[in-house]
């Protein structure tokens, strides 16, 4: 009865540094490449769209990077976030497992995304930039950047993936409430958009191209990315650090840590601090990455140098990819509809340090509903993938008769995803297939001349 | 820089008792009346729709009523809720005032409503009831009851006010996600609904009639009300109690406590513990009730015995009222569209213990936007009325050059109200007028034979 449900930290416990896993990554470092020269991409490749502060973080060899005071001050609006023991879900599953979840949905934008939007907006404001452009899938990232820009007096221009724009009109309103301008992508405003006008649903890859194009053209504008890059994952490591302190409060060590993966920032943010501890101590939890079966980058992709966007405007990155021309089917987990994944996450998968699993849309919503009806919180479709994996782990623990400790990341609430729940409840939610032939075509069109990683 | 933004309590600080202000109310108690006999309404008038446990709380003379363990256990899913110091808003207003807000939007349903939904569902489940019926305006209450019923295995049937049903489709989906059945009110399912089929927008009064009618007819069903009644306000007093502890953490005493008022449960929950302290000690804050100018019950209503619902199915209650036949215009603050107010809140206004102010829809949204762009949280339209009043108080403090301490209740987030923000941003948000002639007609139709309270 009186057992603790929530593990809360005081504001003093907001981490003072981000955890940079880059120097601890296994194997030889694989730099991003300039697609014209195939030489390692350096700061000059990035200065047209990023401020030096963030470029420095992108390539830093320092294991810990200090968080600016002004950023920690904003974090205090919602951080530290709670860690919950899912006692009611455990009971519903009749499992001996102990299930914990770290809840990032308490941020103003409703997800983990403000953790990086705030330091990115701050670094750009400090550098004298006037406007940030970006893409957004489900709208979580665009909302977060709109919120962060409103705090530091920056303009914000968002290209929103067409299928999400149509499914989630209120995400658009939310961005506008914080003062941002929002376009449906593909738009007619950019060459990248016009080149893809045939795509009804759009994709993160296309929207990234549009936002990068605008930022590169306008001298006072920069671009902000919500995932994939090293500095973005770096900023998210406050999640994992807080979680380590909270699991100590709970007096338990996780046997497995689970996160959903789209571009990798939620997964990296939750797992990297645990990962470093494990690398250094030689023991620690297993790590499970959960992704959509309709966009199975980690489980079906090839490890290769590829562009981060559809139009080929970014440096080439070493990652698992379905091919930058692959347009994933319109699953509701818009934040997971990305052809690639963060190079750091991919390097860890390549090194065998994490397991990846893919789930169908309907089975993730089944898990989400089970969670909502026991724990109360309605999850976003993205973390529903992690819930599905957590339930599988809890059922395995029950089979084994072991009180295993499971920790997963609940990276956002589903308040803007209720049309998808509607469809699931009505039995009309689609379960789009992954198209192997689309992927084969996209892989055939990988950039030529890059070193093979096979 | 390092000044505290959030004041958090541990789970142990969840109150063990609710504060019952009934024995401390000034003046002679005015009982509810049976509309047929005009005699005080007693338990037999209420047993067809409420369990004995809640009827006992409704009339209790005990100053403190113990919270069942099973209810406190559920409260732990989101309580204690945070108290924030609105430092960024203070800065934007350049006021010497210290502004604090208690945030109830962290509950699964997104408002303070689960605080009473949970004990109501629990008491009914303990009494062997199988189904609860209710009405909902903005959808906050219906969501809360749907959530609470899902935890205790009860069916839940919700009549949703037509204008809100149309404005907020995702609130309906949210209730369905937790397993509830939702009807647009007025519906064709009840006599009360059919009698009002001409009302395009519906009203809380009509929806209450529909839900009460179903509960009274079905033997295994009871009715649950989200506001107005003594036991509902009682359950909400955990808000004010936590706030007292949190203001102690902050080392400050409020000069004024502000809440929005529709049926009175948010306002009563926040203020009653402070009110009792003031009554007993002889000193304490001022209290301000903020309501919509389109439905100005406390500022323009008459103090009289009236029905709680439109069809006249409830006992007569002593309250400020616009007449139970008054249908308020469809402002977005659906939770404030009610012709009457909680008898306890009305008694305090009558006794001069609180001030009431009415605000136009557009000025509340202006305040809400200012708040969202400084504090990050997008407020529901209902607490936007309290924000408006808090900004007025902060401006008065600036005029006076005094560092006054302002505390207001932020009873819910606006994630389901973004269509209203859209309209406000587009300059197309309506500012519906209060109709004096509609009120005059409704007052002329007050029930005959009840004792005058003038």
pLDDT tens readout for residues A343-360: 999 999 999 999 999 999
Q: Stretch A30-34: mean pLDDT, rounded?
A: 94
Provide the pLDDT for residue B6.
Answer: 94
Provide the pLDDT for residue B103.
Answer: 98
- Does pLDDT of A227 surpass 60? yes
Is A444 or A327 the better-scoring residue by pLDDT? A444
SS3 sequence, B241-264? HHHHHHHHHHCCCCCEEEEECCCC
d(CA B446, CA B142): 28
B290 touches A at CB < 8 Å: no
* Residues near A196 by beta carbon (within 8 Å), at least 6 away in sequence: A186, A202, A206, A310, A311
Does B8 sit within 8 Å of A376, measured CB to CB?
no
Q: Stretch B99-125: mean pLDDT, rounded?
A: 97
Does B173 sit within 8 Å of A376, measured CB to CB?
no
Assign B2 a pLDDT band (cuts: 50, 70, 90).
low
> B 328-367 residues with CB below 8 A of A?
none
The neighbour count for residue B399, using CB atoms within 10 Å, is 9
Provide the pLDDT for residue B239.
Answer: 98
Q: State the nearest Cα–Cα gap between A376 and chain B, in angstroms.
A: 5
Span A245-269, pLDDT tens digits: 999 999 999 999 999 999 999 999 9
Number of residues in chain B? 454
Assign B254 a pLDDT band (cuts: 50, 70, 90).
very high
d(CA B445, CA B372): 42
Q: State the nearest Cα–Cα gap between B27 and chain A, in angstroms.
A: 41
Contact (Cβ atoms closer than 8 angstroms) between residue B219 and residue B127:
no
Provide the pLDDT for residue B355.
Answer: 98
Q: State the nearest Cα–Cα gap between B254 and chain A, in angstroms.
A: 21
pTM: 0.95
Average of per-residue pLDDT values in chain A? 95
- Does pLDDT of A2 surpass 60? no
Contact (Cβ atoms closer than 8 angstroms) between residue A241 and residue A13:
no
Q: A108 contacts in B (CB within 8 Å)? A: 376-378
* SS3 state of residue B350: helix
How many CB contacts within 8 angstroms connect chain A with chain B? 109
Average of per-residue pLDDT values in chain B? 95
Does A174 sit within 8 Å of B418, measured CB to CB?
yes
Does A378 sit within 8 Å of B174, measured CB to CB?
yes
Percent of the residues in chain A that have a pLDDT greater than 70, as a whole number: 100
Provide the pLDDT for residue B137.
Answer: 83
Phi, psi of A134 (to 5 degrees): -160, 170
Identity of the residue in A11, A76, A418 whose CB atom sits nearest the CB atom of B173: A418
Q: A88 contacts in B (CB within 8 Å)? A: 151
Does A77 sit within 8 Å of B378, measured CB to CB?
no
> A 93-112 residues with CB below 8 A of B?
106-108, 110
- Does pLDDT of B255 surpass 90? yes
Provide the pLDDT for residue A192.
Answer: 93
Q: State the nearest Cα–Cα gap between B221 and chain A, in angstroms.
A: 21
- Does pLDDT of B432 surpass 80? yes
- Does pLDDT of A105 surpass 50? yes
Span B369-424, pLDDT tens digits: 999 999 999 999 999 999 999 999 999 999 999 999 999 999 999 999 999 999 99
Searching chain A, which residue's CA lies closest to the CA of residue B69? A1
- Does pLDDT of A1 surpass 60? no
Is B338 or B129 the better-scoring residue by pLDDT? B129
Contact (Cβ atoms closer than 8 angstroms) between residue A253 and residue A319:
no
A176 touches B at CB < 8 Å: yes
Assign B323 a pLDDT band (cuts: 50, 70, 90).
very high
In terms of Cα–Cα distance, which of A85, A83, A103, A104 is closest to A403?
A85
Span B133-172, pLDDT tens digits: 999 988 999 999 999 999 999 999 999 999 889 878 899 9
Q: B378 contacts in A (CB within 8 Å)? A: 108, 174, 177
Identity of the residue in A5, A10, A415 whose CB atom sits nearest the CB atom of B415: A415
- Does pLDDT of B201 surpass 90? no
**Range B1-4 contact pairs with CB under 8 angstroms and sequence separation of 24 or more:** B1/A69, B1/A73, B3/B85, B3/B87, B4/A11, B4/A76, B4/B85, B4/B250
Searching chain A, which residue's CA lies closest to the CA of residue B368? A177
Burial of A149 (0-12, 13-18, 19+ CB in 10 A): buried
Q: Stretch A113-134: mean pLDDT, rounded?
A: 98
* SS3 state of residue B100: strand
The neighbour count for residue B23, using CB atoms within 10 Å, is 11
CA distances from B309 to A180, B147, B211, B213, B340 (A): 43, 24, 10, 11, 9
Q: State the nearest Cα–Cα gap between B415 and chain A, in angstroms.
A: 7
- Does pLDDT of B41 surpass 80? yes
Pairing, β A355-359 against β B6-7: unpaired
| Cis amide linkage into residue B251, ω under 30° from 0 | no
- Does pLDDT of A454 surpass 80? no
Does B418 sit within 8 Å of A378, measured CB to CB?
no
Span A56-91, pLDDT tens digits: 999 999 999 999 999 999 999 999 999 999 999 999
């Amino acid at each position: 009865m009186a057992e603790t449900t929530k593990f809360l930290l005081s504001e003093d416990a907001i981490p003072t540094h981000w955890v940079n896993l880059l120097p601890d990554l296994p194997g030889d470092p694989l730099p991003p490449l300039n697609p014209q020269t195939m030489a390692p991409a350096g700061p000059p490749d990035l200065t047209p769209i990023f401020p030096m502060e963030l470029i420095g973080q992108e390539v830093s060899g320092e294991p810990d990077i200090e968080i600016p005071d002004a950023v920690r001050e904003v974090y205090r609006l919602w951080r530290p976030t709670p860690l919950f023991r899912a006692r009611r879900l455990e009971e519903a599953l009749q499992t001996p497992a102990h299930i914990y979840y770290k809840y990032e949905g308490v941020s103003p934008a409703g997800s983990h995304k403000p953790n990086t939007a705030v330091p990115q907006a701050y670094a750009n404001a400090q550098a004298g930039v006037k406007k940030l452009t970006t893409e957004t899938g489900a709208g979580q990232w665009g909302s977060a950047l709109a919120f962060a820009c409103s705090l530091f007096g920056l303009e914000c221009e968002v290209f929103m993936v067409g299928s999400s724009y149509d499914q989630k009109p209120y995400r658009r309103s939310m961005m506008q409430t914080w003062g941002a301008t929002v376009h449906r992508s593909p738009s007619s405003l950019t060459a990248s958009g016009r080149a893809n006008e045939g795509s009804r649903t759009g994709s993160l890859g296309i929207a990234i191209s549009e936002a990068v194009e605008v930022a590169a053209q306008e001298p006072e504008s920069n671009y902000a990315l919500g995932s994939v890059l090293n500095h973005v994952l770096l900023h998210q490591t406050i999640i994992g650090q807080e979680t380590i302190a909270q699991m100590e409060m709970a007096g338990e060590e996780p046997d497995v840590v689970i996160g959903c993966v789209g571009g990798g920032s939620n997964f990296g943010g939750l797992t990297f601090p645990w990962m470093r501890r494990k690398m250094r101590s030689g023991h620690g939890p297993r790590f499970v990455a959960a992704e959509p079966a309709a966009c199975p980058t980690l489980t079906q992709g090839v490890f290769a140098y590829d562009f981060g966007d559809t139009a080929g405007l970014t440096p080439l990155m070493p990652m698992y990819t379905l091919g930058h021309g692959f347009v994933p089917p319109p699953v509701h987990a818009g934040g997971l509809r990305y052809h690639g994944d963060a190079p750091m996450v991919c390097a860890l998968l390549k090194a065998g340090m994490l397991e990846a699993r893919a789930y169908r849309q309907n089975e993730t919503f089944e898990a989400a509903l089970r969670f909502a009806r026991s724990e109360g919180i309605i999850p976003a479709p993205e973390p529903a993938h992690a819930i599905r994996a957590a339930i599988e782990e809890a059922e395995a623990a029950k089979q084994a008769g072991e009180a295993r400790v499971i920790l997963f990341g609940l990276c956002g609430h589903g308040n803007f995803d209720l049309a998808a729940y509607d469809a699931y409840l009505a039995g009309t939610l689609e379960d789009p297939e992954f198209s192997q032939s689309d992927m084969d075509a996209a892989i055939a069109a990988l950039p030529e001349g890059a070193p093979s990683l096979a």
